Chain A
Amino acid sequence: MERLTLTPRDVEYLVLEASVITPDAVCGKTLEEIAELPVLEGNTKWPLGRFFTITGKVADAAEDQGIIIDGDVPRVKYIGSKMTAGAVLCKGDVDMYCGAWMKGGRIRVKGNADAFAAIQMEGGDILFEGNVGDYCGASYRGDWRGMKGGNIVINGNAGVTLGEYMMGGKITVKGNVGINAGIHMGKGIGAKDPLPTIIIHGDSPGRVGAFMTRGNIYVLGTIEVMMPGFSPDGTEELEIDGVKTTFQILNGDHGEKGRGKLFVRT
């Protein structure tokens, strides 16, 4: 895999929309061409090279292209959005829409990610080593079709509304989550489709699986406030990430006549 390194320069800006930082956009181009790819600062278009020093090698196909962002970019949006193959590694923080609408490839963020990360993801793998903001793996605003596939792993904590309208794929959170995890989960999928899954190792303040109609949510920590629309339905021993745990099964959300399953560690 060829590596292309973007090092943030010491230039001030308000906020950048850099949907060009994806393997698909850079592959097959020369370094000069890459430096001239447009990024948006509000209503102004700038070349990418104004904000990043670009070094390394470029591959011919997106699959063989790796991009390394060597530093913190907490105000650069759309990193790795809509990518289909290849890999992106960010050594610091990223802003909103990291890995949004992603179809394939891998993203790894060593710092924190802001809101709307990986929304409407369809495939690929994302690993956030820090925390992520709100609406991770959710649907785009106003759409009722959320994440369809792929795998998200969050080593830190997640914000509110994780996996809203989730239709497939898997999200694992090693830390805690905000309210509304898995809200509207399973809307729009049939009985035979593979079920979406959320695994929460930490705690949740509540509203887990609200409005949920299908899918599985596993909570290994505690839920502070249980949704009234769930009713207990026995216990089961399951293996999650190699560890056997006994779960209480709850069905719901009865407010929506849902058939989702919530597994809470007893």
Chain B
Amino acid sequence: MEIILNTGGTAFQGACVKGGRKFTDEYTQEAAYCDINPEDFVALGKPWLVKITNEYGDSVVLQAKKTDRQQKGEIFIPRGPWANIVVTTYTESTGSPAYKNRKVEIEEGSGPVLGPVTLMKKYYSKRTNRTGRTPAEGGA
């Protein structure tokens, strides 16, 4: 179902990052979840995991958390590499990417919530062939 994504910092996620614990399981605990309003949570079928997909087709699997802090029709993911898989690069030509208020697809997910190291390996391995692309195609 279509839903509005907001991302942002939390104190615990902040502590993890500032404390240099970015490649630990604690980071996964503090940043790889998704806050969902109770009504939406039921509508999704009370999932353990959810899969978020953005308009480019990139997707990430996160733990689902039910919370009444969230308004209906919105989800919140703490700042971090997980959220940024689905944050889009469109900046309205201001330099600031769409960290907040962007429409995404949410559905019940399966498969593991990746740890930070696995996530980096899966999505961002250094390309060996760096000249393989013409810069003109850069944007997409």
Contact residues of A with B, CB < 8 Å? 12-15, 74-75, 115-116, 133-135, 159-161, 178
Contact = CB atoms under 8 A, between A and B. Distances in A.
B93 interface: yes
Contacts of B135: 12-15, 75
A135 B93 contact: yes
Nearest to B135: A14
B11 interface: no
A14 B130 CA distance: 13
Contacts of B138: 75
A178 B93 CA distance: 12
Contacts of A160: 92-93
A12 B135 CA distance: 7
Interface of B: 92-93, 131, 134-136, 138-139
18 contacts: A12-B131, A12-B134, A12-B135, A12-B136, A15-B135, A74-B136, A74-B139, A75-B135, A75-B136, A75-B138, A115-B93, A116-B93, A134-B93, A159-B92, A159-B93, A160-B92, A160-B93, A161-B92
Nearest to B131: A12
Given A14-B135, A75-B138, A161-B92, 17 more contacts: A12-B134, A12-B135, A12-B136, A13-B135, A13-B136, A15-B135, A74-B139, A75-B136, A115-B93, A116-B93, A133-B93, A135-B93, A159-B92, A159-B93, A160-B92, A160-B93, A161-B93
A137 to B, nearest CB: 13
Nearest to A138: B93
Contacts of B139: 74
A133 B139 CA distance: 13
Contacts of B92: 134, 159-161, 178
B82 to A, nearest CB: 28
A186 B136 CA distance: 37
A161 B131 CA distance: 36
Contacts of B134: 12
A226 B134 CA distance: 43
A75 B137 CA distance: 9
A12 B92 CA distance: 27
Nearest to A11: B134
A12 B138 CA distance: 12
- Of the candidates B92, B134, B139, the one having the most CB atoms from chain A within 10 angstroms of its own CB is B92
A134 B92 CA distance: 7
Nearest to B93: A134
Contacts of A161: 92-93
A91 B136 CA distance: 16
